[in-house]
A = this chain, B = another copy of it.
Amino acid sequence: MTDTAPYSTALLTDHYELTMLQASLADGTAQRRSVFELFARRLPDGRRYGVVAGVNRLLDALERFRFDEQTIAFLADRGVVDQATRDWLADYRFTGDISGYADGEIFFPGSPVLVVESSFAEAVLLETVFLSILNHDSAVASAASRMTWWAGGRPCIEMGSRRTHEEAAVASALAAYIAGFTATSNLEAARRYGIPSTGTAAHSFTLLHDRERDAFRSQVDALGKGTTLLVDTYDVAEAVRTAIELTGPDLGAVRLDSGDLPSLAGQVRELLDSLGATKTRIIVTSDLDEFQIAALAPAPVDGYGVGTSLVTGSGYPTCGFVYKLVAREDESGALVPVAKKSPDKISIGGRKWALRRRSAAGVAEIELIGVGEQPVDDGDDRVLLKPLVEAGKIIGRTTPAESQAFHQKVRDELPRSASQLSRGEPAIPTEYEGDYDARNPFHPRSHT
């Protein structure tokens, strides 16, 4: 699971991280042991749960976070930081610890999705690239999971590359796969992550030919009768008849990319059946989102291709994750909790633990978060933070297939209400063990 181009990620960074580094190196606070936490203050309006994705990409980015000669030369040339800081950066290696929610894990408001512990200097530099990756990928996975939930057993294919940045497209394909999509149109995602890729033809292929029949014959000759023919360039019924004339009952599928899909799918199903093509599947791909997928549940549809709404997070293209200093050494060397005091952006200081408390039947009930000693697992609690990096060594990688299976497993723990598409409260409440009520922006009641 490596990129085509394993280039340095060191400049995918906000300017102020380097100026903070310079100032803290000069005053000696750069070496203070620090804990940064990545979390979302809330879910997108009315969503019931969020899905973590991007953790493995983040570990890849961490591995490539190196200030090489060319990068240092740029910083010198622009005068971004002084010589002492550039010397420190040239030797930069992250030597701290990171724990976090795994790819595919569910998150709620306040979930400590990532906990980074190291010197201030080592951790502060990672803020932007970590946030970029998790904010993007988790936004896509959170939308994707709602789609696969409502698609039931019907396969969902990711085909949104054209509607998002060309590299975000590759990341989106992976995030969608983690959340249960079965394939992608994106070839780079297939190459980089091993995700199955799929696709047959666009309208342009039909328009290129003098007759629709010529296009269909050409496609079947090239790709076999098991292919998927796009039947809505001119007249759908005529195209379906032409298709079955050419292939007989062995045509793999027809694709509908426009029109009133619920009724059109029914008409096409009837027509295919009347022509003996009872096994030929119907794939629909016209600007779908989770709401339309849910609406198509009763229709004779065999698969969904999802584009725009998937790669743009179905209305919420970013997660609102922030990366906050929650504890750091003081003058005496003790680790003390810290938090910003401004009334509209309250944070809770201290290094967190996080458990998903489940009923005896295994249904998730509470996102339980605390500071200090983590309670002993009594069998009903699931520990959410997993070791990802220890003393600079990356230990937490998972494969896309593992992440997909993990997501299925942890989503199955959620109460059934989590699948609701109507706007409402998170599927389970976030609660804080201990005395946080006064500063708790998430849920007023404390855990009892």
Asked if A232 contacts B342 (CB within 8 A), the reply is yes
In the complex, residue of chain B having the shortest beta-carbon distance to the beta carbon of A330 = B210
Q: B residues within 8 A CB of A36?
A: 204
Q: Tell me whether A214 and B27 are in contact in the complex, defined as CB-CB below 8 angstroms, given that A80-B187, A185-B14, A188-B12 are known contacts.
A: yes
**A259 to B5 alpha-carbon distance, docked (Å):** 43
Shortest C-beta distance, A318 to chain B (Å), equals: 4
> What 0/1 readout, one digit per residue, does chain A (353-365) give for beta carbons within 8 Å of chain B?
0000000000000
Asked if A27 contacts B221 (CB within 8 A), the reply is yes
Answer yes or no: A344 CB below 8 A from chain B CBs. Answer: yes
Asked if B325 contacts A162 (CB within 8 A), the reply is no
Answer yes or no: A428 CB below 8 A from chain B CBs. Answer: no
Asked if A14 contacts B186 (CB within 8 A), the reply is yes
Q: B residues within 8 A CB of A7?
A: 4-5
Answer yes or no: A338 CB below 8 A from chain B CBs. Answer: yes
Q: B residues within 8 A CB of A343?
A: 258-259
**A17 to B372 alpha-carbon distance, docked (Å):** 55
In the complex, residue of chain B having the shortest beta-carbon distance to the beta carbon of A329 = B208
Shortest C-beta distance, A181 to chain B (Å), equals: 14
Shortest C-beta distance, A178 to chain B (Å), equals: 15
Asked if A131 contacts B204 (CB within 8 A), the reply is no
Answer yes or no: A283 CB below 8 A from chain B CBs. Answer: no
**A18 to B222 alpha-carbon distance, docked (Å):** 11
Answer yes or no: A142 CB below 8 A from chain B CBs. Answer: no
Asked if B162 contacts A11 (CB within 8 A), the reply is no
Answer yes or no: A13 CB below 8 A from chain B CBs. Answer: yes
Answer yes or no: A408 CB below 8 A from chain B CBs. Answer: no
Binds B, one of A120-128, A240-248, A416-424, A432-440: A120-128
Binds B, one of A132-140, A294-302, A386-394: A132-140
Asked if B328 contacts A208 (CB within 8 A), the reply is yes
Assembly of this chain: how many copies? Answer: 2
State how many residues of chain A have any CB contact under 8 Å with chain B. 105
In the complex, residue of chain B having the shortest beta-carbon distance to the beta carbon of A81 = B222
Asked if B234 contacts A341 (CB within 8 A), the reply is yes
**A127 to B257 alpha-carbon distance, docked (Å):** 17
**A190 to B78 alpha-carbon distance, docked (Å):** 9
Answer yes or no: A61 CB below 8 A from chain B CBs. Answer: yes
Asked if A204 contacts B325 (CB within 8 A), the reply is yes
Among residues 211 to 233 in chain A, which have CB atoms less than 8 Å away from a CB atom of chain B? 214, 218-219, 221-223, 232-233
**A201 to B132 alpha-carbon distance, docked (Å):** 18
Answer yes or no: A74 CB below 8 A from chain B CBs. Answer: yes
Shortest C-beta distance, A83 to chain B (Å), equals: 13
Q: Which of B204, B234, B317, B344 contacts A164 (CB 8 A)?
A: B317
Among residues 138 to 195 in chain A, which have CB atoms less than 8 Å away from a CB atom of chain B? 159, 161-171, 185-188, 190-191
Q: B residues within 8 A CB of A171?
A: 165
Asked if A20 contacts B207 (CB within 8 A), the reply is no
Asked if A19 contacts B199 (CB within 8 A), the reply is yes
Answer yes or no: A16 CB below 8 A from chain B CBs. Answer: yes
Answer yes or no: A404 CB below 8 A from chain B CBs. Answer: no
**A320 to B257 alpha-carbon distance, docked (Å):** 15
Answer yes or no: A95 CB below 8 A from chain B CBs. Answer: no
Asked if A219 contacts B325 (CB within 8 A), the reply is no
**A74 to B189 alpha-carbon distance, docked (Å):** 12
**A161 to B136 alpha-carbon distance, docked (Å):** 10
Q: Tell me whether A128 and B161 are in contact in the complex, defined as CB-CB below 8 angstroms, given that A19-B222, A23-B223, A188-B12 are known contacts.
A: yes
Shortest C-beta distance, A14 to chain B (Å), equals: 4
Asked if A312 contacts B308 (CB within 8 A), the reply is no
Q: B residues within 8 A CB of A166?
A: 9, 12, 61, 128-129, 132-133, 136, 167
User: What are 17 A-B pairs at a CB distance below 8 A?
Assistant: A14-B162, A14-B187, A16-B202, A20-B200, A20-B202, A20-B205, A23-B218, A24-B208, A127-B202, A131-B162, A132-B162, A132-B163, A136-B165, A204-B324, A204-B325, A207-B325, A258-B345
Q: Which 5 A-B pairs have the closest CB atoms?
A: A16-B199, A15-B199, A5-B5, A23-B222, A131-B162
